[in-house]
Structure 1
């Protein structure tokens, strides 16, 4: 059964079907945690990550671990394949987590996102993926890359399953929010499209999917507006790069000291700061992003959801339904203000029904 049933026997939601966790990245007491690195070969931490403990307590059956790129940071391994075409990648870095859900091996899987490590595999595998508001779920027991960006999320084949884990992890919106948009269905709802400064780098499949998404929403009675973010948002890609580089240097210094030759050159470059980023540049990037978060919340709060890339701690939901090149799936990302995760799931469920029915993608699995 794809959509799991919530137990009404307890105040704590019970998970009655198996889930997997991001392989070799989240610790567990009964499986190795090797980060896809020879430095951690044979490592058994003998303790569960906080997210795994929470799932076990809710009754989840931990089916196993899936593969990830090295330290969930660089394109080193694994040889995981896309279930829709074994000659293609399932995307990373939550590589195996996306593939195992798409391939019906498990209904749910955990992943983490620092850049696009949740929404990319969700899109490539034609499934739903939720990166909740930053720091909504404890990252204890997960190897850190960037404290500013690392966020634990999960994959599923339907929004109801995503919502089930949101219950388990205690994710709730405020009951009464002034000026918050109330979603009562797609018809009459307002959606925004923010192409942002990175739009020219989006592939033709992504651009076509976004255009088709807008057309489908309008056909179902939604109001779709193209919104230009203020000029200061153009700095986000560079600020993200600076913070990631600087915080990556801190995160991987221990591995660098123990076995520099056993970690990817990208991580070595972080530690050695080959780009020469100064503390001043790091602070400017960190403070610049912090200043934009409430501004984006205010803009996004005017709409049911915003279709745009995200680097501002906001919740992001990949919604499948579209077909890209080579008959492969492609999704679009819906974004909401911080701590409006349940609202985003409500919107994503209604939008997903439209996209999956009319977007053009049909799984053969």
Structure 2
């Protein structure tokens, strides 16, 4: 089989996997191409907090020596890991000076599963401090070094369009996967809450925290979903078919409680996406979501989200606070000190309300093949110390619904503005298949 026409670092995970499986390239040769690309670009992008080149090459040589019949389904594919996810052979520092040089010596569940599948764990990508603060590392957007790539999964997002790695891992409490994916023009998936184990990942709010993945193609998201054994459990679902006629799909353009926060670029992106899908044969209609008069308004929803997350974060960071609060950002100290005076009664009510709303949201989502919604408020802000708002993401995170970012549009300054597709809980594979069908015309015509 002939080798690729261009540099190996340009390959998606699926493309690289095909070459590796057919022995057209070695893992070492592939790894060297990625390392060279990182050497060329990371002085500006600054996506990596830990990367040991010698360790990467040793890993790659070990993988090359595995007999063909014993190689895993992800053999040799490089993966970047957000630095809040434990890795046995690399430091995990949580973006915090309190954890400088910290190495637990064991893999998070997600990393262990990927290693068992043959993945090459390339290094640790930057994050904001313990995934909470809205500023932090000097990671830049590969599209414009004077703009943020978003956070908190900033390095995982920035490394992909810089062609430094084909897959990266992240986490989302509010919008930490989908917003950076929108700012950097990559595919990303936040699965249904807890369909992938968060064991070994630094927690902020267990009710919201969700592991996720970023990639440069929808096919690569499918590849990772299969590695993690995601199943919808409904073989009769028409969306389980490999090829879905667009005329069979219904798309709800939702009016969520947060719709008033959308900027002009995002409003335009949603309109364009809806028009493209309608022209392509989909049944597209506007819908209030969820379709229930009992659903909270914007102000009530924002308060409920804040109470739920802050109440749990207070417990999550007590350890760090007690060890040395002087090494923590003041915003984290305020969470532990409960500076907003959140009561247990208010927290219990917020969590109970969210629990009830999930069934309402699933019922509304079941009326359509997919929901179309913004991925971010607008383009990435100027500067590196405001990573943008999670206003367009937190609703879906709290409802535990799977979300996929589709990279397709640009704003007034030529920066990416993307759209999200959402489905009901535990319809992750169905969402990927629908996203695969819809992303074709949207990406092709998006601009």
Q: Does the pair score TM above 0.5?
A: yes
SS in 1 for 2:121: strand
Structure 2 counterpart of 1:30:
89
Distance 1:15 1:71 in 2: 31
Structure 1 counterpart of 2:417:
330
The correspondence for 1:85, drawn from 138, 144, 152, is 144
Alignment pair present for 1:114 and 2:177: no
Structure 2 counterpart of 1:203:
263
Q: What does 1:159-238 correspond to in 2, within 5 Å?
A: 159-176=218-235, 184-228=244-288, 229=290, 230-231=292-293, 232-234=295-297, 235-238=300-303
CA pair 195-11 structure 1, distance change in 2 beyond 3 A = farther
Distance 1:15 1:236 in 2: 44
The correspondence for 1:255, drawn from 315, 320, 326, is 320
- Residue 181 of structure 1: how far off its partner (Å): 6.1
SS in 1 for 2:360: helix
SS in 2 for 1:326: coil
How many pairs does the alignment contain?
358
Q: Give the alignment's TM-score, normalised by structure 1.
A: 0.94
Given that residues 236 and 289 in structure 1 are in contact (C-alpha distance below 8 angstroms), is that contact kept between their aligned partners in structure 2?
no
Alignment pair present for 1:152 and 2:211: yes
- Residue 298 of structure 1: how far off its partner (Å): 1.3
- Residue 347 of structure 1: how far off its partner (Å): 1.1
SS in 2 for 1:227: strand
Structure 1 counterpart of 2:195:
136
- Residue 186 of structure 1: how far off its partner (Å): 2.0
- Residue 264 of structure 1: how far off its partner (Å): 1.4
Query: What is the alpha-carbon root mean square deviation over aligned residues?
Result: 1.9
Alignment pair present for 1:281 and 2:368: no
Distance 1:3 1:35 in 2: 26
Structure 2 counterpart of 1:315:
402
- Residue 225 of structure 1: how far off its partner (Å): 1.3
The structure in which a higher percent of residues are helix is 2
The correspondence for 2:432, drawn from 323, 345, 348, is 345
- Residue 76 of structure 1: how far off its partner (Å): 3.5
- Residue 12 of structure 1: how far off its partner (Å): 6.5
Distance 1:87 1:186 in 2: 39
Alignment pair present for 1:242 and 2:252: no
- Residue 267 of structure 1: how far off its partner (Å): 1.3
Cα-to-partner distance string for 1:158-204 (whole Å, 9 max, x where unaligned): 011111111111111113468x8667232241100112121111111
Give the gaps of 5 or more residues in structure 1.
Answer: 361-365
Q: What does 1:59-74 correspond to in 2, within 5 Å?
A: 59-74=118-133
Q: Give the alignment's TM-score, normalised by structure 2.
A: 0.77
CA pair 152-126 structure 1, distance change in 2 beyond 3 A = same
SS in 1 for 2:312: helix
Structure 1 counterpart of 2:185:
126
Given that residues 76 and 264 in structure 1 are in contact (C-alpha distance below 8 angstroms), is that contact kept between their aligned partners in structure 2?
no
SS in 1 for 2:246: coil
The correspondence for 1:40, drawn from 92, 99, 105, is 99
Distance 2:69 2:253 in 1: 42
- Residue 10 of structure 1: how far off its partner (Å): 8.0
Structure 1 counterpart of 2:442:
355
Q: Which stretch of the first structure deviates more once superposed, 346-355 or 88-97?
A: 346-355
Cα-to-partner distance string for 1:330-354 (whole Å, 9 max, x where unaligned): 1111100111001111111121111
Alignment pair present for 1:294 and 2:359: yes
The correspondence for 1:100, drawn from 159, 166, 172, is 159
Distance 1:10 1:113 in 2: 34
